Chain A
């Protein structure tokens, strides 16, 4: 893995875009959907990697990509793209480490989003 741990989990510009589009209520709406939708997708990838189900990995990674980019989770998006490509090209060997990195990155994103949320509700 070559991701720089210094890179912020969330790109503030993406959050700004959401604010322009629908103000704080819309940011909150997107964060809520993220919280209920995205962890499930990461979990699906983890499980599918264990069972070696490449199609299930691809199917979960694809929506994860756009969900991550909607809220500016740049690293999460990159990892999702890698998972999708690895599944499409049958590179089993890479998938375990990508899945592990996805879990770690999701935790980082969740923490960052909690911070965003606190600034909105404060």
Chain B
């Protein structure tokens, strides 16, 4: 046999060997949500896929948040699951949860890859970070997957008016709450805004925000957008300060809030107006840690629970469980993942199972999520919960805090209201309708 034929046979052999190897690697899991029986009540397992940002630009906050999401479901399962009365059998049965987490590094292609790998075996997905939500939304709508989102972005409302069943209040609605508070406490006040113009988008869109401010009788003096990488804010502060506002609302992340306060102190304008931290991720304790007494008098928005409430029973449970599982102390990031998405979602699954039994379809699980009422897990998720198809967010309640002379955040008000500015456009409704 000539050497040419030997080479040909060798090459074909390599190709033939490669094809089954690829086929084996490419075989996807076939199982969907499963049920199992034991000596006690029948147990059912809901499989959940989590797109985590353990790495990437937002890892600092999303890593504990994502770990917390895994642990929260694991905690429920470790403690015997959730009992429900199956209307089909008339018996008590148990829901348990199996979470598959995949790091996506806050990048779109890995998130899409993870989704493609998991979608055949998992019916419910959850994630942190806006970029991934946006990237995944069209595929999930097409595949009719349930998506429990923990995001602040109003953007997603445009994509997933019905599939987005969880999550936080949009940035613009948080801002609306602050405006309501100012209108109530100082009618006709002059405000200025510093918002973020970061990789994940702007925290405010100027025109709808301006319209809302004017509708409340507040005087608008200007808005400045900070790049996500800004290391100095003096130029923006100078322009804003020249308009003599009564309030400066900082609609930016915690680190930038601290940066603004430091710059204002250096410029000698710290005491000239009331500072307001407009985003819930501005946890008061974090800001105090960063800027010390420059935060004195700061008013801010925070969700449901303060990180100072260490004697809370729920806090103790989380601290003990995370220490046991991760060897790590809990912190604010854990609270967000644990409570705002997962524990409320567990309640949603229970409501759905009580009504429809087992197995659950995507629409049935969505029904459960949208019918959570005033959920409270060991006083951690204490704010009233109100969801409806037109307001597809778990949270419509936030606390206002003020940092007092001892640099201790104290509650000064509770705000409960529906969406202000974020609207579901007609195009989004059309997208969803079959």
Q: Do A and B come from one complex?
A: no
Please give the residue numbers on chain B whose beta carbons come within 8 Å of chain A beta carbons, in ascending order.
none
Please give the residue numbers on chain A whose beta carbons come within 8 Å of chain B beta carbons, in ascending order.
none
